[in-house]
Structure 1
Amino acid sequence: MSSVSPGRWRLIPRLFLWAAVLLVMALANTAVEVMDVQRRGDALAAWEPLIWEISSVTVILLTLPLVWWGCRRWPLHEDTWKRRLPVYVLASIGWSLLHVLGMMALRKLAYLGVGASYVDGTGWASRLLYEYLKDVRVFFSFVALEHLMSWLVRRRQGEAHLFAAPEDAPPEAPVVRPQHFLVRKLGKEFLVATNDVEYAQASGNYVNLRVRGQDYPLRTTMAALSTRLDPALFMRCHRSWMVNRRHLRSIEPAEGGDAVLHMADGARVPCSRRQLHALRQVLGAG
Structure 2
Amino acid sequence: MAGDPGGTSSGADVTDDQGTGTSGGTAGTGGMTARTLTALLLGAMLLFGIVRITANVYSYIADRHGTGVEVAASTAWMLEGTALAAWVIMLVPCWFTVRTIRPPRFGLPATVLIHALLVIPVSLGHIALMVAFRTAAWWLTGGSYHFGSPEGDPVLYEFRKDVSTYAELIFILFLVQWLVARYAAPPAEKPAPATLAVGDGSITHHLPIAEIEHVAAAGNYVEIAWRGQRLLHRATMTGIEEELMSAGFARIHRSRLVRRDAVRRVVTHKSGDFDVEMESGETLRGSRRFRGNLETG
Specify the TM-score bucket, using the shorter chain as the normaliser: 0.3 to 0.5
> TM-score normalised to the size of structure 1?
0.48
> TM-score normalised to the size of structure 2?
0.46
Greater radius of gyration (CA)? 2
